[in-house]
Structure 1
């Protein structure tokens, strides 16, 4: 029998002899898994991996931390937050620093946990720090809906929710190919990724197992040398074109788009989400008249450039020296999805 032998993903990657290609790992979990699985060691030298803004804690601006600290120390509210946010430096201090001064801060694992805490402690004014992308935003919306339905008066959310499509567009040209985050696209669907092809943006949606990541890289290296923009969903068992219709409807019913500040990227129009007027009673900024704060970034920190793919963590002067997971200077060293923490943990010292 004749025919051509079908090459495996690993063979396609190892035998790549095409032009240099810069691939942006938009998702911080991808960055960590690619390191952990040893995939960087098998990629050909023409392939350069750069980090992107796919870590919600990392892209949250320093002013947000300052707002949370102000609420905890000045208004004496109880803050409910994901653990990753606790040690992110603010202008004067982190939330951990505020807690050392007596702030009441509870670690939760979901927005519903924060709602449940508020319901169980009616004597405490409780604020949930709503940091996240499309993956966690539906749960935050559900918590707000439940609070309103229950008539809960001591619960509100400090929003820093962001959506990825506008960020993709703002990063157009910073990489040759985007490795899109599978969990975000599971909610949002792939229509916005497909639309970017007409603007010359190439990308693939990838899962998180070794097989799924190798398949995604093989697809990129097979298609990129052809010289035409492309999009491929390499995570079809989870991601569909339409995404989660119920999740998107829930978000749209509780929140509406707004301009948002991204660490390193500045203000991206309509890339954030804020509570709709019908839920204004649960908007922390309105409830407590939170003042507009101007955060001050540590000049030694290059997190903003890392999040744009302009430099690698190891090119930052304080990486691994003044900035370590035990003593982070920037958010990218704190979060479990941060590029700097991945480079530090897995020894990614290449420049």
Structure 2
């Protein structure tokens, strides 16, 4: 026990020294102005929660990006879900964040008030289990997310096929990050890449983007990891050349998760996809392959094409592109609050607007 305590103390001391070093680099930065984009919404919230923004010199600006899956999901997808719930009479299984995201006319919460059956779940496996336990109901899971969560949706479909569930399907809004990085080129000086996405995809894409002049670092989520990533960003930015650094090596490898990649490739293929604020990005979405389309809700229920219309007062699209801060929006904190959201960025637990509101910016 004595040896374990000594080792633990030494590790703690080493981590604290690294934190101090990173903090000093950040606080003492006297280089050129730099804009760093927090691609991931969780990074935005953690940086606020940990008070890291208060350490930044005035020439270092953090801006939000499109790394919140609920936020980038377009209004038309919500309209499709509402149509399924009210017109097709299915039971919609969804993560809680999506329930209050405004559609063109109403949210899923509004549909529930009209009698629709909306079931909150915590994973696609929960939705598949609900379908198995309720064979009298047609069940659709709203499959929203990036590379991190897409494999779990695929697993639920695979299990549904094994169990011969004819009452289960998914409505996909799954997206991949490469197209977004391409669309955002020039919007920031450095990307703070989402560690959990790179844990699946690996680092090849981020490394290749340096050839196009795009710089970035993969960041974890602890105070030490975030401070390190920001410090590395500032030191490398001053060198004046495009760079990539994996600052999350304990989780992220060059090749990523081959097993997850194989699973997704077996069930899904790329497709054009609409991103809130970014428009339609070619090959940035995922849909079930033809041999799995019996589990595709759009095919199964012949959902009519939806052209969603966002509230014109909402600036979520600009926030997701780093064009403005949430506090620049005229309805932020006034008409638009977490209790009465006008846009998705105020609803989601990973949304930039909810972070700015929560931490009083």
Measure how far apart 1:311 and its partner are.
0.5
Q: Which runs of 5+ in 1 are unaligned?
A: none
The structure 2 residue matched to 1:55, chosen from 68, 79, 90, is: 68
1:282-321 alignment, distance < 5 Å: 282-321=295-334
The structure 2 residue matched to 1:270, chosen from 278, 283, 305, is: 283
Q: What secondary structure sits across from 1:63 in the alignment?
A: helix
Taking the aligned partners of 2:27 and 2:342, their CA distance within structure 1 comes to 37
Normalised TM-score (structure 1):
0.97
1:224 equivalent in structure 2: 237
1:167 equivalent in structure 2: 180
Measure how far apart 1:160 and its partner are.
0.3
Measure how far apart 1:103 and its partner are.
0.5
Taking the aligned partners of 1:300 and 1:218, their CA distance within structure 2 comes to 37
1:22 equivalent in structure 2: 35
Q: What secondary structure sits across from 2:238 in the alignment?
A: helix
Taking the aligned partners of 1:284 and 1:176, their CA distance within structure 2 comes to 40
Q: What secondary structure sits across from 1:226 in the alignment?
A: coil
The structure 1 residue matched to 2:263, chosen from 250, 262, 267, is: 250
Taking the aligned partners of 1:166 and 1:70, their CA distance within structure 2 comes to 29
1:65-214 alignment, distance < 5 Å: 65-214=78-227
Point out 4+ residue stretches in structure 1 off by more than 2 angstroms: none
Q: What secondary structure sits across from 2:358 in the alignment?
A: helix
The structure 2 residue matched to 1:240, chosen from 253, 277, 302, is: 253
Normalised TM-score (structure 2):
0.94
Number of residue pairs matched by the alignment: 344
Deviations 1:276-328 (A, max 9, x none): 01101000000000000111110100000000000100000000000000000
Measure how far apart 1:121 and its partner are.
0.5
